[in-house]
Structure 1
């Protein structure tokens, strides 16, 4: 009974925090199915009289949302997989290979994480122009793969730096090559951490706006976040369509997060135990 009483304030605080996190999404969802007249009459907090789906369909057709959704999924999914794979390779060399200057290399990756994206706009724009990749989805995939892999390398290097070297040495005595040690021993052990990185990389890339706005100027190549920003800047949406756009913009990332929530929780829990 005493333990239950002690946990009650924590549970209540978590419920309040969850309410504050969910409430904005609920308000957006409610206003997305209101008519402009209902919104003007009752404001953002009033319940709708019925389901008004014209805002959702108008936004879908106006921005060609299906194509934007496909672009965002392709870019975010590719970045998540490629950045996680690159992080494993570089972290293996730094954490287990113990390359020279390991501290300075890690400091370089930390610096890459704290650089503002505004400082990268012109170099990335210039290099993509020179390479003939400007206004292609591949250019955005390459840029974000490198940026996300910087964080992944830093995180995995700290994990692999504590990897038992006896296991690696025993595998090498048994005749395992460097690649076999990596794929058959290190990667399976690091799978929970890799699952966390995959989820984070996908969500982070999905929410990116500045670099895709600069790099993807064609309508057929734009992502969901860029389409939302461009349409907002043109002032072509009323309040109902604005909420519908916000709902369609965040819903795919939310669904992805919920689908892989167990992977994220398990990876964090395993990392905490280690």
Structure 2
């Protein structure tokens, strides 16, 4: 009993430590510059001030940046999950020749820093005519994220019950049908976890979008925030508003799919 309450107390302290910075940013985002100057970052606002949020939204064209991030992150999450399933099905269940070396290759790909990939990806995107396009970034991150997804799913599907696949084969199901009607439905919790992670990871990416999306109309939210951090016209209130607008979509996506994430982690632990 004492251990249980100790764990709950530690988790409560950790939750407070994580929520306090978010609360401070939200407080300063709805605070006027005069209130910030008089009361500091922890002072309460005298009134609800939304001009900082509106001005930042209009200055950077935040609606377009938000759409770019949603389009890129959503597309990468779906495509990388599908590609991971196809690769892992061949490696984990199909048992292709040289499976171990292919898995080592995916493991090495997960450890490569993005800085080492910039020049070859830049050269290839230039040659393919995909530089400074959202499609080019979607392709790059789909491959990068699917490397991790393939490695994870191949390990999971390697322990997939053979009896279920044999029963499906006796019912006349081929490999393709067994994949989409047997393997995918059973692995749905794990796929849901990958989908959420891929979306959030891609949303938070800054370095590669900064290099490959140089046009203002193609930039994502993190790039727009990073570019404007040194703007002399950005006061503390507008900076807080920009940080709040940048993190809210990712937080909302996480909260919407929190049950999917929890179910996938729980089922993985039970197995």
| TM-score normalised by L of structure 1 | 0.97
Q: Indicate the residue corresponding to 1:65 in structure 2.
A: 62
Pairing 1:267–2:267 present: no
Do structure 1's residue 46 and structure 2's residue 29 form an aligned pair? no
Which aligned pairs between 1:1-274 and structure 2 lie closer than 5 A?
3=1, 5-274=2-271
Per-residue CA distance 1:90-121 (angstroms, 9 max, x = gap): 00000000111111111111111111111111
* Structure 1 stretch displaced more, 171-180 or 131-140: 171-180
* Pair 1:133–1:199, CA change in 2 (3 A): same
Cα deviation 1:56-81 (Å, max 9, x = unaligned): 01100000000110110000000000
Unaligned stretches of 5+ in structure 1? none
Structure 1 distance, partners of 2:233, 2:108, is 40
Whole-Å separation in 2 of the counterparts to 1:146 and 1:236: 38
Q: Take 1:211 and 1:235, find their aligned partners in 2: how far apart are those partners? A: 25
- Once the two structures are superposed, residues 191-218 of structure 1 have per-residue CA deviations (whole angstroms, 9 ceiling, x without a partner) of 0000000100000000000100111111
Tell me by how many angstroms 1:233 deviates.
3.4
TM-aligned CA deviation for residue 166 of structure 1: 2.1
Aligned mates of 1:114, 1:52 — CA distance in 2: 45
Q: CA deviation at 1:25?
A: 0.3
1:233 is paired with a residue of what secondary structure?
Answer: coil
Residue 168 of structure 1: how far off its partner (Å) = 1.4
Q: Could you report, residue by residue, the CA deviation over 1:114-160 in whole angstroms, capped at 9, with x for unpaired residues? A: 11111111111111100001111000000000000011111111110
Note closer, same or farther for the CA distance 1:182–1:132 as it changes in structure 2 (3 Å cut).
same
214 and 43 in structure 1: CA distance in 2 versus 1, 3 angstrom threshold: same
